[in-house]
Chain A
Amino acid sequence: MIENKVIRDTPGWGKIEVLGETYEPGSPRGEEAGRWRKKLETREEKLKYLRTAERYWYSADWFGSERRKNPA
């Protein structure tokens, strides 16, 4: 996953770095269109996604309903 950051000129704050668009351009078609897991290429990207998305309740900063009682 490529981190797309852009510099924006913001009133009062000057130039700041913000995240750019993360969507895919155009409308993907064909057999590979739905194969989203291929977007994560390196092991680091995959682990990061696992920790922040699929297994985020195992990470330190998740906010699910069980958190307030017993840390998983």
Chain B
Amino acid sequence: MSEERRQRSVDPATLEMLARASAEGINTVFDRAEKMKPCPIGAEGSCCKNCAMGPCRVPAPRGKEETTEEKKARVGLCGATAETIAARNFCRMIAAGSAAHSDHGRRIVEAFRIMAEGKAKDFTVRDEQKLLKLALDMGVEIGSRSNQEIALDIAHRCEAEFGKQEGELLFIKNAPLKRQEIWRKLGVVPRGIDREVVELMHRTHMGVDQDYRNIMRQGVRAALADGWGGSMIATELQDCLFGTPSPVLSEINLGVLREDMVNIIIHGHEPTLAEMLAEVSAEEEITAYARSKGAKGVNLAGMCCTANEVLMRHGVPIAGNFLQQELAIITGAVEAMVVDVQCIMQGLQEVAGCFHTRLITTDSRAKITGAMHIPFDEQKARECAIAIVKTAIDNFPNRRGGVHIPQAKQPVVAGFSHETINYLLGGLFRASYRPLNDNIINGRIRGVAGVVGCNNARTPHDSAHVTLIKELIKNDVLVLSTGCGAMAAAKAGLMVPEAAKEFCGGGLAEVCEAVGIPPVLHMGACVDNSRILIAATAMVKDGGLGDDISELPAAGAAPEWMSEKAIAIGQYFVASGVFTVFGATWPTLGSREFTEYLFRDMEEMYGARWAFEPDPVKAARLMIEHIDRRRKALGIDKARERILYDMAMRRQLEG
């Protein structure tokens, strides 16, 4: 394998399939990334195309200091400064990211309401406990009412969160009290989810908000409307509908595909259809139909965050993360790739055309030219799922061009929801975060890190995730992970309990062994970053580590980020008090002043800031240094020897 190929990914299955793609002359995102370099002006946030007088380009001078006159002249036609342009571009990324997660949340609320109204016969409340928890959180009467009645009230309250014009989002109350006060003082508490996104789009329109601090204030508000609003609603209601994740053993990587079975890949983000596909594909009638076409049965596998959803709840294996979507089709073994929304590359259709694979879109919001469209309707969920599975089965005899499935796959233990972590740390008898806090205080665990986010074809696939995470756990930092980052860790064998012995520092390994958990905990899809917010809040509330998330020895990272959702997530992490390091690229470097505002000034306002470091080892060091500073501030930076007092020593004390 050539050195050039090796640098594209650290994952052997990916490299194997890239070699096949190259041999067959099939273009992938990896090839396109080599042929087309990113626009340097757009990459640093210095291009304004918000009106037809532009696009205006105001790039920062390279290799020299800018004079005052030069800086003064670096404006768009309307006079917008590099600061305003960078802030507008950054905030429009937040708006799009928040909109994506929140629209996901909205669709889940709709499905939940239809279920509560009795119109979606194939769905029910699978987790009554989560339903009751939401009822308590939202002030919905429980009494002797049925689950359907309670669910309907919750659905209406959640629906109202999107269109609310004033007041505060309900889940803001879930944050630590001190954090709520910081938000109120700064005027960034979201009023309604849609309102904050719409207002942000308005304020970044030509000729509106032209002070980067004021633009950013609304950016924070919209990001919080995502993390503590749309995303949190999505996570909570999905748990009600499909079950709160608990530990489950499965496998990950392209090796989970089967030559002798009908392979269906579910790709995207919303779990409603995927849940039904998981149920239907295992039914005897479907297996018999697959046999009639020469296959042994149906093998369902996931891709991207839909994969995380059905892995966490059903143990459905994962075929790969974002950059592996085209490669799965290049195995020649995929009968259907079923997609819904977000992170679906249009290049899939071109690749599918080289094989027999059916690319099936299922959501009216996301169609792809040339792909087959089978609309998913929650009220006819089962019928839709059966139609999709049968389409895939019918396609099995059409395989052409040979099947080549890499052998690479790894076991993964997933399903670490906040609730499950709480349970694992004390059982039903005394579930709490106390053991975690105690082990942070006594120094066995140095701190906690959230490592999340995408893959980016501009950086070696999975490399930064795996390197960063290994560096953290080696230094006794417990890692919580979601999205494509979690998949990268799982493929590297970091999401099994045995990984503790091989990769961790002594303290973290001891705790992992005692609790029986991996050192990197899979907490779900990217929308489930809200679980990390709740876990951080639980650590604060349990006591001993300060009164706010910003006081915790904790940090966040997205070393291979790519999507606008990642920026929204990063911003709600920072605004919630988490020091957050991004890798790959940084979209505001065109304005030093605005970048310093994000990288320095935010610390004074929110107790946390952004940082950019493309080297994963250096990024890990930044996070560990931050964790150590927080430990020092809490007075837990020095190891204290534990002394077992005998009676004589006690008497001496009393004397």
Contact A43 B132 (CB under 8 A): yes
Binding site for A on B (CB under 8 A): 127-129, 132-133, 136-137, 142, 176-178, 243-244, 246-248, 315, 415, 419-420, 422-423, 426-432, 540-547
Within the assembled complex, what's the spacing in Å between the Cα atoms of A25 and B431?
19
Choice from B426, B429, B541 contacting A64 with Cβ under 8 Å: B541
A17 to B609, CA, bound (A): 54
Residues of the A chain whose Cβ atoms lie less than 8 Å from the Cβ of B428: 1, 22, 36, 39-40, 49, 53
Within 8 A of B (CB), among A36-51: 36-37, 39-40, 43, 46-47, 49-50
Determine the chain A residues whose CB is within 8 A of the CB of B426 once the complex forms: 53
Q: Point out residues on A near B: beta carbons under 8 Å.
A: 1, 22-23, 31, 33-37, 39-40, 43, 46-47, 49-50, 53-58, 62-67, 69-70, 72
Q: Are B432 and A47 in contact (CB under 8 A)?
A: no
Alpha-carbon distance between A46 and B419 when the two chains are bound, in angstroms? 13
B246, A36: Cβ atoms under 8 Å? yes
A-B contact count (CB 8 A): 85
Per the bound structure, the CA–CA distance linking A60 and B541 in Å amounts to 14
A-B contact pairs, 18 of them (CB 8 A): A31-B248, A34-B246, A46-B128, A49-B428, A50-B136, A53-B423, A53-B426, A53-B428, A54-B419, A55-B133, A55-B136, A57-B541, A58-B136, A64-B541, A65-B544, A65-B546, A66-B176, A70-B177
**Interchain residue pairs A-B with the least CB separation, the first 7:** A34-B247, A65-B543, A53-B431, A64-B541, A46-B129, A64-B543, A57-B541
Interface of chain A, helix or strand or loop or mixed? Answer: loop
Q: Which residues of B contact A63 (CB under 8 A)?
A: 543
Instruction: List 14 other contacts, CB 8 Å, given A22-B427, A46-B128, A54-B419.
Output: A23-B427, A31-B248, A31-B315, A33-B247, A36-B420, A37-B243, A37-B244, A43-B128, A49-B431, A50-B129, A50-B133, A58-B136, A66-B543, A67-B543
Separation in Å of the B314 CB from the closest CB of chain A?
A: 9
* Given A65-B540, A66-B547: A50 touches B132 (CB 8 Å cut-off): yes
**What chain B residues lie within 8 Å of A31 (beta carbons)?**
248, 315
Given contacts A43-B128, A66-B541, A72-B177, contact A35 B246 (CB under 8 A): yes
Contacts of A39 in B (CB 8 A): 428
